[in-house]
């Protein structure tokens, strides 16, 4: 019988080529078939603990995930990722490292001296990232929450980097200047793009293509960023009580861009989303963000439409939800039948919109105006 998944917290750190090794470690965790990443903390620039003077500072982060692996199996998988990224193990616990992946919490398991990780209670560079992504996590020995533990330790030597976050395997920079942040990428992705150029008969070293593998790796990270976000992160508690609000809410003209999973060519268009509140409403911008969450994955339009509808049902539990998407697909326009003026319309109706023709027709009429 397959055991139920266990919620875990993994702490990650790097001070050797940290701009590349930490994002790549996250990427390998994300690709692991038995580790499901739920949340990733902001990135923290932290002073090295111990070691000789002048030891390079670290990047640290915390990852909340679920897994069906046992403690020993999970620890072995983390060690395998460390080894694959060139981790050299020595007797010096403070030696610089390409990557360090530790299990900080494994459910409420207590297995002294390693679980929970003792550093959770004494090291701010471990406690603060955990408190960001799991502030209410209760330490099974002390009974203190992760938020209270971090607050008690203070933040000396731990510097959050405003505007910079780890996604799946990249650092996301929003208009800031920090080292080579704008050139951070997944080395394996860049190498694959370079190999693709060679297969096409191109010279990746010619002037116009020298930085193309990097640009493509960064573009693909953005275009598929929906894999590394969750519905909870996107909504971010922007659900509000609205007693008496039961009239239809329609958000239309939501632009989206996605990629067809069959040919990895773009498709784009506009979405209209409506719901009938049942005592709660959602911040309007969050509806557009929900569309983006699912659009920024390899997709088919039919699935995208249903995912948006089901997500709205999940977060609001309204009387009903309706979604209509009209898209234009490059796989039909640039290749195949090459019909440049073709478009695809898909719809998904839930609750009252499905059962009541008048409500459905009102929505469809509003989307045409």
Catalytic annotation, residues: 260-263, 301, 329, 331
Cis peptide before 259 (omega within 30 of 0): no
Report the C-alpha gap between 15 and 48 in whole angstroms.
8
Is there a contact between 277 and 246 (Cβ–Cβ < 8 Å)? yes
Inter-residue long-range contacts of 78-81, CB under 8 Å, 24+ positions, other chains counted: 78/10, 78/102, 78/103, 81/25, 81/28, 81/29
Q: Residue 349 is encoded by which pair of tokens? A: 């109706």
Report the C-alpha gap between 105 and 252 in whole angstroms.
43
* H or E segment and range at residue 166: strand 158-166
66: phi then psi, degrees, rounded to nearest 5: -120, 150
């Amino acid at each position: 019988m397959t055991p139920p998944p266990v919620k875990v917290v993994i702490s990650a750190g790097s001070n050797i080529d940290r701009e590349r090794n930490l994002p790549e470690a996250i990427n390998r965790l994300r690709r692991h078939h038995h580790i499901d990443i739920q949340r990733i903390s902001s990135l923290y620039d932290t002073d090295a603990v111990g070691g000789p003077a002048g030891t390079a500072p670290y990047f640290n982060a915390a990852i909340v995930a679920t897994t069906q692996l046992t403690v020993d199996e999970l620890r072995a998988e983390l060690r395998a990722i460390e080894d694959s990224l060139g981790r050299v193990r020595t007797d010096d616990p403070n030696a610089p490292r390409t990557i360090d992946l530790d299990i900080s919490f494994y459910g409420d398991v207590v297995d002294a001296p390693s679980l929970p990780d003792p550093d959770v209670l004494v090291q701010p560079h471990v406690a603060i990232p955990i408190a960001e992504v799991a502030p209410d996590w209760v330490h099974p020995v002390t009974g203190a929450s992760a938020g209270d533990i971090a607050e008690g330790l203070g933040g000396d030597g731990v510097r959050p980097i405003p505007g910079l976050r780890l996604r799946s395997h990249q650092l996301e920079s929003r208009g800031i200047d920090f080292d080579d942040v704008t050139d951070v990428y997944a080395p394996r992705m860049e190498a694959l793009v370079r190999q693709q150029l060679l297969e096409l008969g191109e010279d990746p070293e010619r002037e116009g293509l020298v930085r193309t593998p990097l640009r493509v790796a960064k573009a693909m990270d953005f275009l598929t960023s929906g894999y590394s976000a969750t519905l909870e992160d996107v909504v971010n508690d922007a659900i509000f009580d609205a007693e008496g609000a039961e009239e239809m809410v329609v958000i239309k003209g939501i632009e989206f861009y996605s990629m067809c999973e069959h040919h990895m060519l773009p498709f784009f268009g506009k979405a209209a989303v409506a719901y009938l509140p049942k005592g709660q409403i959602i911040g309007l911008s969050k509806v557009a963000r929900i569309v983006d969450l699912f659009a920024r994955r390899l997709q088919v339009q039919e699935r995208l439409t249903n995912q948006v509808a089901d997500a709205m049902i999940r977060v609001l539990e309204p009387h009903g939800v309706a979604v209509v998407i009209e898209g234009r697909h490059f796989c039909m326009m640039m290749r195949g039948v090459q019909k440049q003026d073709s478009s695809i319309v898909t719809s998904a109706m839930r609750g009252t919109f499905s059962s009541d023709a008048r409500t459905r027709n009102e929505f469809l009429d509003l989307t045409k105006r």
